[in-house]
Structure formats: C-alpha cells, structure tokens
Amino acid sequence: MEVIVLAGGLGTRLQGVIGEYPKCMAEVAGRPFLAHVFDYLAQQRCVQAILSLGYKHEIVTEWVEKQDLPFVVDYVIEKEPRGTGGGLMLAMQQASADNVVVVNGDTLFTVNLERMMHYHLTQHSCTTLALKKMYSFDRYGVVNTNDGGVITSFEEKTYKEAGMINGGVYIVNQKHIHSKHLPIKCSMEKDYLEKYTAEGKFYGFESDGYFIDIGVPADYERAQEDLKTMAS
C-alpha cells in the first residue's frame, strides 16, 4: 500500500490559531495532526508514505525524521505552489504502484483502504473517491453517483440538507491520470476529476468512518476533543 499525503498547505484560515506552522503540523490533542494521519496509515498497513510538501517543509521533515514509524517515508518538495493536482503528480514520480492511495494532510477519514482498493480494482475504476454522508452543511460540495457507483457530477458548495461529500481519500490509477497530461500547476478537483467525469470511469466508495477536516477554526477545535477521545 503506497500512500501519497498532500501536505503542502499553508493553513491560511488557521493562522490566527496555529501561527506560521504548516497546516499538517497544527497541534491536535497534543500532537501534530500529521501524527494522527500516520496512526491511521499504520493501521491500514501502509508500506510507504510519500509526502508532497511545500510551505515550511523543513518543519515537517525534521519532525518525521525523529519518529519511529512502521513504514518508509519519502518526500517531494514543491519549489512553488503547484495546487493539489500538481503536488500529486510530483509525488507520483516516487510511486511504483499502478494504483496509488492519496490522502490529505489536513483531513482524517478512517476509510478501510483494503476494502476500498478491492472495490476500485473490481470496478476497473480509474479513480475512486471515498464519500462521506453529511447532513445540514454548506462547507462542502456534493458528489453525485448513479446506482452503479459511477460518479456523474460534482456540485458547488451550497447549503444541503443531506448529501455525499468528497472525503479527501482517493485511489488513483497512474496510467489514466498521466494520460491526461495535466499542467504542472493544476487542481486535482477541477482539472482532473470534474473535467473527466463524463468518461464514466470515476467511482464513489461510501464509508461511515470518522471524518474531520481541520481547515477552519471550529473544526480544528472539534478535532482536539475527538482525537483525544479516540486515543484514550
């Protein structure tokens, strides 16, 4: 299981809380948030994590090198921001698997990756998104699928009583994404997922796992209590 961790974010909306630290290094329940992501990856039997880093990357690498981890950690460093798609493509240069797991360094979604990979392969999916059912929300866009699990459309952020959101965990077929010749700086969501949805080769995998995105102060504070409880 090779996993790319997109961890180059600045954490602009959190700077009043975490200062100048990279978002993945924001302290949550006494540890960097990335430590909680690593705990999850260890549980999922990850063998290699490839960190896609940018802003103040040395803070992340210095911390990682002090950790005793059950998997290998490699890095790629963006010299200038490339966006989620560009950061992913850079990290894929270090990946050897045909199908690579991708997670965000500021999001924790405890999906069963073995089941998700099985689904991805049996559906012959080019990219599979882990989807989370949410209620009464306006912070996330909605992902629509047909009865066969094929993603049919993405909706912009607006208030919804209920809907499936993109939980920030992907399995990506390298051959397919490379065939699109994405620009060096691009968005995984806009320039790949939304652009090529009509091909009918992207699938949604619904999970009821725990989900938290620490990108805004309110959810960052909620994560403090949630992850403290989960660790105890």
Q: What is the CATH number of the domain that holds 48?
A: 3.90.550.10
Give the percent of the chain with pLDDT over 90. 79
Domain assignment present for 189? yes
The predicted pLDDT at position 217 comes to 84
Measured CA to CA, the distance from residue 201 to residue 214 in angstroms comes to 30
The predicted pLDDT at position 137 comes to 92
**95, amino acid identity:** A
The predicted pLDDT at position 12 comes to 60
The predicted pLDDT at position 108 comes to 96
Domain assignment present for 147? no
Domain span holding position 178: 2-129+169-231
Domain assignment present for 138? no
Domain assignment present for 143? no
Instruction: Check pLDDT > 80 for residue 11.
Output: no
Q: How many helices (H) and strands (E) does the chain have?
A: 8, 13
Domain assignment present for 205? yes
The predicted pLDDT at position 31 comes to 93
Instruction: Check pLDDT > 80 for residue 20.
Output: no
Domain assignment present for 141? no
The predicted pLDDT at position 203 comes to 98
Domain assignment present for 145? no
Contacts of 1 (CB under 8 A, 6+ apart): 44, 45, 46, 47, 48, 101, 113, 117
Q: In this predicted model, which residue has the larger pLDDT, 13 or 196?
A: 196
Count Cα atoms within 13 angstroms, Cβ side, for 50. Answer: 21
Q: For residue 179, how many other CB atoms are within 10 A of its CB?
A: 11
Q: Which has the minimum average pLDDT: 22-31, 158-167, 184-193?
A: 22-31
Contact 217, 14 (CB under 8 A): yes
Consecutive H or E run containing 153: strand 151-155
Instruction: Check pLDDT > 70 for residue 199.
Output: yes
- In the chain, the number of structural domains is 1
Rg (CA), the chain: 17
The predicted pLDDT at position 220 comes to 87
Instruction: Check pLDDT > 90 for residue 70.
Output: yes
Q: In this predicted model, which residue has the larger pLDDT, 217 or 165?
A: 165
The predicted pLDDT at position 155 comes to 94
Domain assignment present for 157? no
User: How does the average pLDDT of the chain come out, rounded?
Assistant: 92
Measured CA to CA, the distance from residue 50 to residue 44 in angstroms comes to 15
Contact 171, 101 (CB under 8 A): yes
The predicted pLDDT at position 77 comes to 92
The per-residue pLDDT for range 79-95, each reduced to its tens digit, is 888 888 999 999 999 99
Q: Tokens for 106?
A: 């500021």
